Amino acid sequence: MKISQRIANSRPLATTAMHGRVETMRNEGREVIDFSIAISHFPAPPTVLDAVGAAVEQVRTMPYTSVVGALDVRERLCAKLRKENGVEAHADEVIVTNGAKQALYEALYAMSDPGDSVLIFKPHWPAYVATCQLLGLRPILVDLPAEITPEILATCEPARIVIINNPHNPSGKVYTRAELEHIRDWVASTGAQVIVDESYEHLSFDPVHTSLAALCDWRTLGVVTIFSASQSYAMMGWRIGFALAPAPLVGAMQTLQGPITAAASHLSQVATVAAFEAGVQQHMIDEYRERRDMVVRRFAEVPWIVMDSPDSGPYLWGDVRALTHDTVAFAEALIEEEKVAIMPGDALGVPGYIRIGYICDDVATLMEGVRRVIAFGDRFAARK
Ligand code: PMP
């Protein structure tokens, strides 16, 4: 059977593949602690559950809406953009999608032609590079600096599209206003278009999150901003997101989305509005902060890992180069010997690092998993 070269040259996402492996092990009755991705142990906000429950009760027929999403849904998302992000937008500049992944795929597809270059800072969310591969685009991977300056940007190879992830997975970096202004000025001078993934907008522990679109004429500059309910509202499995983009681009994304999924499901659209009106889930952030501090404190006692305390997000990013640069083999042996799944930095473009999602399960399971990672690393160090 023929398989398209585009697919044959691509690989399943490393993150979902590792999570799938965990699920298989559990289905076989094998116990495993999963740090490979970040699935919150919190439920969706109560307002979301109420809105969806009421919709099921009241709306007996769930209509197909327009592909971009129902008009009132998009208008309420525009109100969220105005209130939370400081961005004025019209309903025809918003498209509701099945999660940020669909928005990313559609935006990249609609903005590019095969062979175009896409600048991505590494470490990076694996889906950026995987989507480029599927679309025949050329990723240019550049080390994410501690601080973005005009001098650093001037050294980057020019690209057609630049992807910014703010707040950043996995480092937790929250871009400052000044850094975003440097990026704005730089793309204005190079003519690149920008995709800003703000899926973690409400998972910042202290620094204020700023939207690039609030600092520029995003229509003229060609800025697409992507939002997701997965992390900000603990709604990973709901598959909800949306994109803000200049109207012609939303039109192009609609042309692509129509034959694939048509609109997001009607119930999801009800949930989308309720989620993005729910605001910061402070109880969640407070609990994540406690977990972050607990785990970072524990790893600070371990000589073979360097782990900074992240400013945002559900991940810890550990430098284990003192032990090994082959973190794929490290992760493989860890899951075999200790039944703990982590993400090797290789999958995020930087071998020698490991990523730990610390928001799944309860605290006892989290700390048991950390104990096993440390025990494994100590044995690994002793074997060296
Ligand atoms: N963007 C980034 C950078 C992410 O890490 C994640 C969650 N893994 C998402 C977006 C969420 O994607 P989705 O809305 O498709 O769940």
CA of 196 from ligand 1 middle (Å) equals 12
Centre of ligand 1 from the C-alpha of residue 370, in Å: 24
Q: What is the pLDDT of residues 2-35, one digit of tens each?
A: 998 888 878 777 777 788 888 899 999 999 999 9
Is the CB of 193 inside a 6 Å radius of any atom of ligand 1? no
pLDDT of residue 21: 85
Tokens of 250: 């939303």
The average confidence (pLDDT) of the chain is: 95
Is 81 a residue whose pLDDT tops 70?
yes
How many of the other CB atoms lie within 10 Å of CB of 49?
Answer: 13
- Residue 207: is its pLDDT beyond 90? no
Among 225, 230, 238, 348, which is best to mutate for testing ligand 1, by the most ligand atoms less than 8 A from CB? 230
- 316-340 average pLDDT score: 95
- The residue-averaged pLDDT of 85-92 equals 98
Dist. CA 314–CA 236, nearest whole Å: 13
DSSP string, 270-331: HHHHHHHTS---HHHHHHHHHHHHHHHHHHHT-TT-EEPPPSBSSEEEEE-TTT-S-HHHHH
- The answer to whether 73 touches 51, Cβ cutoff 8 Å, is no
What is the pTM assigned to this prediction? 0.96
- Look at residue 20 in the predicted model and tell me its pLDDT: 83
The dihedral of CA 28, 33, 36, 42: what is its sign?
positive
Taking alpha carbons only, the member of 193, 186, 114 closest to residue 160 is: 193
Q: Is 230 in the pocket of ligand 1 (CB under 6 A)?
A: yes
- Residue with the smallest CA separation from ligand 1 atom 12 is 100
Q: In degrees rounded to 5, what are phi and psi of residue 303?
A: -70, -25
Ligand 1 centroid, distance to 18 Cα (angstroms): 16
Residue 60 has pLDDT above 70, yes or no: no
Measured in angstroms, how far is the CA atom of residue 216 from the centroid of ligand 1?
24
- Strand 94-97 and strand 343-344: the pairing is unpaired
Whole-number pLDDT of residue 7: 86
CA-nearest of 19, 9, 260, 245 to 130 is 9
Q: Euclidean distance between the first and final Cα of the chain, in Å?
A: 46
Distance CA 235, CA 255 (A): 27
Q: Please spell the DSSP secondary structure of 336-347, one letter per residue.
A: HHH-EE-EEGGG
Asked whether 330 lines ligand 1 (CB < 6 A), one says no
Q: Under DSSP, is residue 148 helix (H, G, I), strand (E, B) or coil?
A: coil
Give the whole-angstrom CA distance, residue 138 versus residue 22.
Answer: 31
Mutational pocket test of ligand 1: of 101, 128, 316, the residue with most ligand atoms within 8 Å of the beta carbon: 101
- Residue 233 makes CB contacts below 8 A (sequence gap 6+) with 44, 45, 48, 202, 275, 276, 278, 281
